[in-house]
Chains A and B, each alone.
Chain A
Amino acid sequence: MSEALSPNASVATPLRLPAFPIGGRAGTSFKHEHLRAILAEGGQRGFFEVHAENYMGAGGPPHRALEAVRRDYPVSLHGVCMSIGGRQPLDQAHLARFRNLVHRYEPALVSEHLAWSTHETTYFNDLLPLPYTEATLGRVCDHIDEVQEAIHCPLLLENPSTYVLFRESTMSETEFIRRVAQRTGCRLLLDINNVFVSATNHGFSALDYLSDFPLSSIGEIHLAGHAEQADDEGDPLLIDSHDCPVADAVWRLFENVIGRAGPIPTLIEWDSKIPEWPILRAEAAAAQEILDRYRTATLPGDCDAAA
């Protein structure tokens, strides 16, 4: 493919990778079709996030591509199927694969979802919701403890987009997440599009959710596009589709959060109907512009005051 991808670069020797700072940077999802354009541009400010599961094969082009990107950029490792919110024990083989990737690529950020995707032996390939109760809180905390012990670094837990509520829930999502962070010491990945999607779907205020969210625990922000459908009553039902630009309302919420919390590393997610690299890069540049605007206005330590 590209001459920059030297064959077998890392087959035998463990990588010692540069520890690029990720603070205050905007990044994008890494898609293989963009690799040539990214390498041709050379080292820019920014970072790339990958879905961990796509790099759990033994070898081949996926690892070569990620190695090439990792040489020049900080990487965020984003797991999508650990099933942390599941009722059954974590899949030990999967946890070992995840740990091995953290060891191999030394990512600047490591994250997973407040969701589940496996029940008994079936893997559903979606981020499924859970009730927020004392019982599920305990189980989620146990699972996060287990992951953090395996990877030897803090995990960022991402708030979900949801389309249903559980009758049995006894606490709000923000209370649940705050208590998980307090009990496990995990950090949080605030997906602002997810907040907007869930707020619309369940009729609460996204600003209220954000003012209730423990800002001081946020280690990363996600921004993405969504699609609109209708619920049974004909009201808007937003779908977390990751297939279009970030909505204006989500940009406004983002600026609100950055204004209070300071320039937190921010990722543009785009996983379907993937555009040409310049379009994705421009979305990241728009986020970077907002981050830079608040770089001098807020010192990093100030973010505690907003929580």
Chain B
Amino acid sequence: MPLLEVASHSYAPAFAAALLRPDREPPSIVMGPRGKAAAKRYNVYRNNVMVSLIDALAAIYPGVQRVTGVDFFRAMARFHIRATPPTSPLLFDYGRDLPAFIERYEYARSMPWLADTARMERAWLDAYHAADAEPLSAASLAAVPSCQLAELVFTAHPATRIVRSRFSALTIFVANRSNDPVGSINAASPEDALITRPDYDVVVRHLPPGGAVFLTHLISGRPLGEAAASTLEISPAFDVAAGIAGLIQAGAFTAVTFGEP
């Protein structure tokens, strides 16, 4: 094979190798015109790649950025991008590993609730892009004879997500997704969130104690009766009737059927 042919197939690895690595020399295959140097020229690509990916993470995690401040966030994002660059051209899918990265990030140790706040934001964006579907109406349940309620199996809305936190991550998430001033928040109170999108807007709600377990059982296809019994074992005060009504009203489901015989 002619030398030229080989060279033409190697431009991508040579060009890509230093894009996320500022410690590496720019590739020798590129140059400026009339023999001019290409260091600053190649750096335009490095900068485009890094800045656009940091911006993508900031767009997915605006609340985290508001909590940490822009400089902290961008420095953290830079570390994360070098460790875990995107593998899909769909940037709204990027950043799924950032919450786990935050948990390990030494400069974020004073904010143990930050990773869960990020998980809320990631779930919010997933709900935003999820498939459209008509939510289950309360009326469809009203027609079910009470003796058959325990057999009901619910289908989750494509947008429905549950995020559980040992901290007040939901309160922190909500407070930092607006431009309003944030008051003092007690971060130590555990919170579970339901995130879904019954129509145009993503809705985020607190789940009562037991609610996350209950909804997790229902989403996994367990009949209402079983889901309620399992939930009451660990949360005896859980109000099943109010719980199911609240979930339906929030738009967590699209359909209900009688369980498999």
Contact = CB atoms under 8 A, between A and B. Distances in A.
Nearest to A79: B89
A11 interface: yes
A53 B4 contact: no
Given A59-B129, A59-B130, A165 B31 contact: yes
B33 A58 contact: no
Contacts of B101: none
Interface in B10-39: 10-13, 15-16, 19-20, 29-34, 36-39
A116 interface: yes
Contacts of B197: 60
A201 B13 CA distance: 24
A60 B128 contact: yes
Contacts of B11: 87, 130-131, 136, 166, 168
A302 interface: no
A194 to B, nearest CB: 14
A56 interface: yes
A211 B134 CA distance: 55
Interface string A181-196: 0000000000000000
Interface stretch (B41-49, B112-120, B212-220, B230-238): B41-49
B42 A165 contact: no
Interface string A49-73: 0000110111111111000000000
Contacts of A167: 29-31
B32 A168 contact: no
B53 interface: yes
Contact of A8 (B20, B91, B134): B134
A1 interface: yes
Interface residues of B, number: 54
A167 B4 CA distance: 11
Contact of A168 (B4, B158, B159): B4
B5 A135 contact: yes
B110 interface: no
Interface in A101-127: 116-126
Contacts of B200: 1, 5, 7, 61, 64
A48 B16 CA distance: 33
Given A1-B200, A165-B33, A57 B12 contact: no
Contacts of B44: 163, 229, 237, 239
Interface string A6-26: 011001000000000000000
Nearest to B91: A125
A98 B232 CA distance: 48
Contact of B91 (A1, A53, A235): A53
Given A7-B200, A59-B158, A128 B132 contact: no
B140 interface: no
Interface string A61-99: 111100000000000000001010011100100100000
A91 B89 contact: yes
Nearest to A164: B30
Contacts of A11: 132-134
A232 interface: yes
A123 B86 contact: yes
A133 interface: yes
A57 to B, nearest CB: 3
Contacts of A165: 30-33
Among B34, B36, B38, B91, the most chain A Cβ lie within 10 Å of the Cβ of B36
Contacts of B179: none
Interface in A175-228: 201-204
A125 B130 CA distance: 23
B259 interface: no
Contacts of A239: 44
A233 interface: yes
B130 A164 contact: no
B8 interface: yes
A123 B88 contact: yes
A123 B9 CA distance: 18
A232 B44 CA distance: 12
B56 interface: yes
A282 interface: no
A122 B31 contact: no
A124 B49 contact: yes
Interface of B: 4-5, 7-13, 15-16, 19-20, 29-34, 36-42, 44-45, 48-49, 52-53, 56, 85-92, 128-134, 158-159, 197, 199-201
18 contacts: A57-B130, A58-B131, A59-B129, A62-B129, A81-B89, A87-B10, A88-B12, A124-B85, A125-B53, A125-B86, A126-B49, A129-B15, A129-B30, A135-B5, A163-B45, A167-B29, A231-B40, A235-B36
Given A94-B89, A125-B52, A128-B45, 16 more contacts: A11-B134, A87-B9, A87-B10, A91-B89, A119-B13, A122-B86, A123-B85, A123-B88, A124-B16, A135-B5, A163-B44, A164-B45, A231-B36, A233-B32, A233-B37, A237-B41
- A-B interface, 9 closest residue pairs, ranked by CB to CB distance from nearest: A57-B129, A135-B8, A81-B89, A59-B132, A164-B30, A232-B37, A58-B131, A119-B16, A126-B48
